[in-house]
Amino acid sequence: MERLKDKVAMVVGAGSIGPGWGNGKATAVTFAREGAHVFCVDRNAAAAQETVDIIAKEGGRAVAFTADVSREAEVEAMVAACLNAYGRIDVLDNNVGIAEMGNVVEVNEASWDHVFAVNLKSAYFAMKHVIPVMQKQGGGSIINISSIASIRHLGISYVTYGASKAAMNQMTRTTAVQFAKDHVRVNCILPGLMKTPMVEHSAGLAASYSAGDVEAMWRARDAQVPMGHMGDAWDVANAALFLASDESRYVTGIELVVDGGITVKSS
């Protein structure tokens, strides 16, 4: 079933920081498998091209674009390039994010500004320049990838990550209301503990869990989840597919939690 047949989907953060499947990479491939033309954006040109190559080998349609989406001029260029390639943007998936460790006493100003620029300002810039396109064409779907760290303390000290994602949730809500009349839907996905390359390559996370032992970190994270195991990038991709498709045409302003039950357990 081609649930996104002939739609144009821009996936921001479509590469992966290391071997395996990150959320953006899996989402881009999933969108292509469902019939979308995918515009794959990443700061790392090789990572974006790797995703495009996977899509092409499967018979899908995609192009790669390199941009640092914390910079407005590069976001403007990204949107212009997508319109030049495909003429429209039906889906925007904001999947960029980083985590830097520290509480409010430990974090310095530079780290605070860096995390907010990558996690929040990037989505603001993308929505700022994509929403007018969607208004002109009669609508579209925007998906912001947040985190359950925005609504729950997970025992890890990374205040800038949780705060930036909480701000993303509120930005999503207000934007959803303001542009609902234009049929521009704006929703969040809140992944829980996921087994992805970004987590694996975060030395701070591994140190916080298990003194740097990645395998021990995986076991500890599995134990936190009521279902007994973490999710993976495909769980996020499938949630994004629903929000991108017309099956969710009456859904806007929500926070779709994908977490195996963590946020509803008592402790």
Q: Which domains are present in the chain?
A: 8-198+236-257 (3.40.50.720)
User: Which residue of the set 124, 158, 161, 209 is catalytic?
Assistant: 161
Residue 72, pLDDT > 80, answer yes
Integer Cα distance of 18 and 140 in angstroms: 31
pLDDT-above-90 percentage for the chain: 85
The pLDDT score that the predictor gives to residue 197 is 77
Lowest-confidence segment of 123-137, 203-217, 251-265 by average pLDDT: 203-217
Q: Which of 43, 51, 44, 49 is nearest to 67 (CA)?
A: 43
pLDDT-above-70 percentage for the chain: 96
Please state, as a whole number, how many other Cβ atoms lie within 10 Å of the Cβ of residue 46: 10
Residue 41, pLDDT > 80, answer yes
DSSP-assigned beta bridge partners for residue 145: 189
The pLDDT score that the predictor gives to residue 108 is 97
- Read off the pTM: 0.95
The pLDDT score that the predictor gives to residue 210 is 67
For β-strands 37-42 and 8-12, DSSP reports them as parallel
Mean confidence (pLDDT) of the chain: 94
Tokens 């936190």 -> residue: 224
Average pLDDT over residues 232-250: 97
Is 161 part of the annotated catalytic residue set? yes
Residue 18, pLDDT > 90, answer no
The pLDDT score that the predictor gives to residue 199 is 78
Annotate 135-180 with DSSP letters as a single string: HHHT-EEEEEE--GGGTS--S--BHHHHHHHHHHHHHHHHHHHHHG
Q: Which of 98, 172, 106 is nearest to 141 (CA)?
A: 172
